[in-house]
Chains A and B, each alone.
Chain A
Amino acid sequence: GQQVMQIPQYQHVQEGEDFTTYCNSSTTLSNIQWYKQRPGGHPVFLIQLVKSGEVKKQKRLTFQFGEAKKNSSLHITATQTTDVGTYFCAGPDNNAGNMLTFGGGTRLMVKP
């Protein structure tokens, strides 16, 4: 079945450092979505990328969708303590209606 992998699983950074998480799918995706889950919270939608090679920015966050539409990345510039949480990527399951296949997530910890 379709698999979505994320690396790294964990990342500790000093506040002010940059952070990147990578997402790879075993199949071509029609789109990729990113979610953030704060500690003790629930996943919250951040963004959706649809086009091959697409790049979108949200303040200090930059999202990329690969040319082959099988990989994606999330880059945070100059991390802040408010960036702490787990970042998940997700792509539609090619074999099932409106299901998403989620990656395992990258847990970001920021030292003040």
Chain B
Amino acid sequence: ETGVTQTPRHLVMGMTNKKSLKCEQHLGHNAMYWYKQSAKKPLELMFVYNFKEQTENNSVPSRFSPECPNSSHLFLHLHTLQPEDSALYLCASSPPGLATDRQFFGPGTRLTVL
């Protein structure tokens, strides 16, 4: 256990559905991340939040909408996804301030878009 939890662990949705992924960390970290992992791009950074503020949006389509209500919780809202969005979505966190610190990953949500 890394102290980072993600729910749900598996999700199947249609292209017209709206769903949300949740990430929670109890490590006292102030930086949180969303990654997409697929066969084509092993670890693709999507969003970065520092102290609840989004500091990076790595050219992610608007059908992915992140939300960070506080330093412990991170959401990824999904709507009108495409089959190519099927992937493992990983949340990670790291201690505040330092660019050098390790990241702690959650178990991921395996998403399938039909």
Give the secondary structure class of B's interface.
loop
CA–CA, A93 and B94, complex, Å: 14
Q: Which of A48, A88, A93 contacts B42 (CB 8 A)?
A: A88
A100, chain B: closest CB distance, angstroms: 6
A66 part of interface (Cβ distance < 8 Å): no
Given contacts A35-B105, A41-B107, A42-B108, 10 further A-B contacts (CB under 8 A): A30-B100, A33-B102, A44-B105, A92-B99, A96-B48, A96-B55, A97-B48, A98-B31, A98-B98, A99-B99
Report yes or no: B50 in contact with A98, Cβ–Cβ below 8 A: yes
Contact A97/B50 with A43-B90, A43-B105, A105-B42 known, Cβ cut-off 8 Å: yes
A-B complex: 7 closest residue pairs judged by Cβ atoms: A102-B43, A92-B99, A45-B102, A42-B105, A105-B42, A98-B99, A43-B105
Query: With an 8 A cutoff between CB atoms, is B45 at the interface?
Result: yes
A78 at the interface (CB under 8 A from B): no
Residue of B33, B48, B90 touching A42 (CB-CB under 8 A): B90
**Cα–Cα distance between A104 and B42 once the two chains are bound (Å):** 6
Residue contact B42 to A86, C-beta cutoff 8 Å: yes
